[in-house]
Amino acid sequence: MDKIAIEGPTRLRGTVEVSGAKNSALPIMAATLLTDEKCVIKRVPPLRDVNTMIKILRNLGVKVQVEPGRLVIEPKGYKNYIAPYKYVKEMRASFCVLGPILAKHRKAQVSYPGGCAIGNRPVDLHLKGIRALGADLKIEHGYVVGETRQLKGAHVYLGGAFGSSVLATDNVMMAATLAKGRTVIENAACEPEVVDLADFLNKMGAKIKGAGTHFIEIEGVKRLDGAEAEVIPDRIEAGTFMVAAAITGGDITVKGARFDHLGALVDKLQDSGVTITRHGKDIRVRVQRQLRPVDITTLPYPGFPTDLQAQMMALMTTINGISVITEKIYPDRYMHVSELARMGAQIKLEGDSAIVKGVKQLSGAPVMASDLRASAALVLAGMAARGRTDVSRVYHLDRGYDKIENKLSQLGANIHREREE
């Protein structure tokens, strides 16, 4: 098993390029199950989660050709309708194959999903939405077993206890493309990744309107064709590098990021005193003065993303003063707090909020990643800390960041990967 070793403190300088968004690539890969024709997906990041989805597709009988910077997927003739536990347990996004398989074959058997341990993440909205389209779904031996004579359009309300669900919106939207009649998804997720998926489905011949709003309309069609897609830039990776510049007092340019996808983060970093300038498709992030603490509440897009909460917490631990971070998406997503405390951070949990009192200097320590974004936060804290930090369980990191240690090293970080003893 690998670990990431960091010697700090360091100041990042230079230019880094953003990869394609994994949270966009994964459902687009699942969407290819809706057609018999070849699909080409460009700018797919070479990540562990992507490899897991490739395994699922191949297990179903789909031909997947991996080429530099793109995937060529040929689903023609796939007959298997079972997505097994050994693959689906590795990541939550794999549950997105349920809707496409059911719509195409009218039967499906998909294991309950796995992924990061960031609190309770039920699939009830997925099941509610697909049942509304006329599917008979049962839970048997840890699998969702579904069948239908014909999916039919319906009005589906996808409101959950903590707002809309991106993956449930994706799943229902994909299933509805081949349903008979009109489907309306109310309280749909508005994230850019949902829009990217809808754009790809429309290229395949689907009739989808309203993606990016809380009301999505889908008029079912009889068949979908093959199509090409280029995955949008990963806004969470871009945001992680932007916070990395701030926590190290650095000056970096993030190439290829979508400024319009990062509004909430830009707002909070600017409130903290970070200088952010836009240069075409690039974003420059500089620290030119002493930073201030800010309060943050995570919310569905376009609110502050939960996937950047841990990274911002790491930043706040280094800024003099008190900040309050409130998690409204996954209230239990604070497993990184105890690890940051090992580095000298002062954080107190009260309900769904974390009260952070900045310290003069974090100190390097051996820490353990609990989930994907927590691991990124610990790497960022390690670059700001004095001394050596070893981040173990970095397989979490590899699920969502393409060789992050190499990119940070090119920006001047003293960081490398090594085998754990």
**Higher pLDDT among residues 93 and 355, named by residue:** 355
Give percent of the chain above pLDDT 90: 86
Q: What is the pLDDT of residues 229-247, one digit of tens each?
A: 999 999 999 999 999 999 9
Confidence of residue 44 (pLDDT cuts 50, 70, 90): very high
Task: Choose the weakest-confidence range: 32-41, 90-99, 305-314.
Answer: 90-99
Question: Residue 54 pLDDT more than 50?
Answer: yes
Cβ pair 372, 397 in contact under 8 A: yes
Nearest to 406 by CA among 46, 67, 69, 90: 46
Catalytic residue selected from 39, 96, 116, 190: 116
DSSP strands (E only) in 34-191:
39-42, 63-67, 70-74, 82-83, 107-111, 136-140, 143-147, 155-157, 182-186
Together in a domain, 258 and 304: yes
Q: What is the pLDDT of residues 172-215, one digit of tens each?
A: 999 999 999 999 999 999 999 999 999 999 999 999 999 999 99
Helix ranges (DSSP H) in 260-308: 263-272
Confidence of residue 159 (pLDDT cuts 50, 70, 90): confident
What pLDDT, on a 0 to 100 scale, did the predictor assign at position 119?
47
Strands 82-83, 107-111: pairing kind: parallel
Together in a domain, 88 and 214: yes
Mark which of 194, 212, 230 sits at the end of a domain.
Answer: 230
Together in a domain, 313 and 185: no
Total domain count, the chain? 2
116 assigned to active site: yes
Question: Residue 336 pLDDT more than 70?
Answer: yes
What pLDDT, on a 0 to 100 scale, did the predictor assign at position 330?
84
321 alpha carbon, distance to own chain's centre: 30
What pLDDT, on a 0 to 100 scale, did the predictor assign at position 123?
86
Nearest to 369 by CA among 353, 388, 390: 390
Q: Indicate the residue type of 11.
A: R
Together in a domain, 322 and 379: yes
Average pLDDT over residues 409-421: 93
Confidence of residue 118 (pLDDT cuts 50, 70, 90): very low
Average pLDDT over residues 332-359: 96
Q: Give the CA count within 13 Å in the CB-facing half-sphere of 361.
A: 8
Together in a domain, 124 and 149: yes
Together in a domain, 251 and 213: no
Together in a domain, 384 and 402: yes
Together in a domain, 244 and 226: no
What pLDDT, on a 0 to 100 scale, did the predictor assign at position 120?
47
Together in a domain, 201 and 323: no
Q: What is the mean pLDDT of the chain?
A: 94
Question: Residue 222 pLDDT more than 70?
Answer: yes
Average pLDDT over residues 132-147: 94
Average pLDDT over residues 394-403: 90
Together in a domain, 168 and 238: no
What pLDDT, on a 0 to 100 scale, did the predictor assign at position 114?
60
179/117 Cα distance (integer angstroms): 34
Question: Residue 250 pLDDT more than 90?
Answer: yes
Residue 238: which CATH number? 3.65.10.10
Mark which of 192, 209, 230 sits at the end of a domain.
Answer: 230
Mark which of 230, 263, 284 sits at the end of a domain.
Answer: 230
Cβ pair 397, 404 in contact under 8 A: yes
Together in a domain, 197 and 244: no
Question: Residue 121 pLDDT more than 80?
Answer: no
Q: State the pTM of this model.
A: 0.95
- If residue 355 lies in a helix (H) or strand (E), which one and from where to where? strand 353-357
What pLDDT, on a 0 to 100 scale, did the predictor assign at position 199?
98
Together in a domain, 205 and 254: no
Domain span at residue 259?
A: 2-19+233-419
Q: What is the pLDDT of residues 258-302, one digit of tens each?
A: 999 999 999 999 999 999 999 988 999 999 999 999 999 999 999
